[in-house]
């Protein structure tokens, strides 16, 4: 298998797959010897998706609309994401900008 990005050779090896910083285990993948990109075959992708569902991580990321309260903007945090990071009403969090992201630390 060749890398779809830089066309270099890939090497077959076990690769740890993380979703939202949580390891789903290691899976047989192909790692590009030049750019390091990792590829998985269809049945492995299905296995990874299954693991993700088992851990309640699948589809956790989602789009939300930015609202406005006074001069501030607001974003609703979906219940599933709040539960995942154990965020509760009234809890103090730190909000930090980072390039094109906003990080909310619990």
Pick between residue 17 and residue 52 the one whose CB is nearest to Zn ion.
17
- Of 79, 77, 82, which is closest to residue 65 (Cα–Cα)? 77
Minimum gap (Å) between residue 6 Cβ and Zn ion = 4
Pick between residue 6 and residue 75 the one whose CB is nearest to Zn ion.
6
Indicate the SS3 state at residue 97. strand
Rounded Cα distance between 59 and 39, Å, is 20
Minimum gap (Å) between residue 38 Cβ and Zn ion = 10
Pick between residue 6 and residue 103 the one whose CB is nearest to Zn ion.
6
**Residues interacting with Zn ion, by CB under 5 A?**
3, 5-6, 8, 32, 34-35, 37
Rounded Cα distance between 80 and 85, Å, is 9
């Amino acid at each position: 298998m060749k890398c779809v990005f830089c066309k270099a050779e890939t090497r077959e090896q076990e690769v740890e797959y993380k979703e939202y910083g949580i390891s789903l285990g290691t899976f047989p993948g192909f790692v590009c010897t030049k750019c390091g990109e990792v590829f998985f075959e269809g049945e492995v992708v299905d296995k990874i998706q299954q693991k993700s569902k088992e851990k309640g991580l699948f589809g956790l990321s989602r789009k939300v609309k930015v609202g406005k309260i006074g001069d501030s903007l607001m974003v609703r945090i979906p219940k599933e994401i709040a539960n995942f990071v154990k965020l509760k009403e009234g809890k103090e969090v730190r909000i930090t900008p980072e390039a094109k992201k906003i990080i909310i630390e619990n």
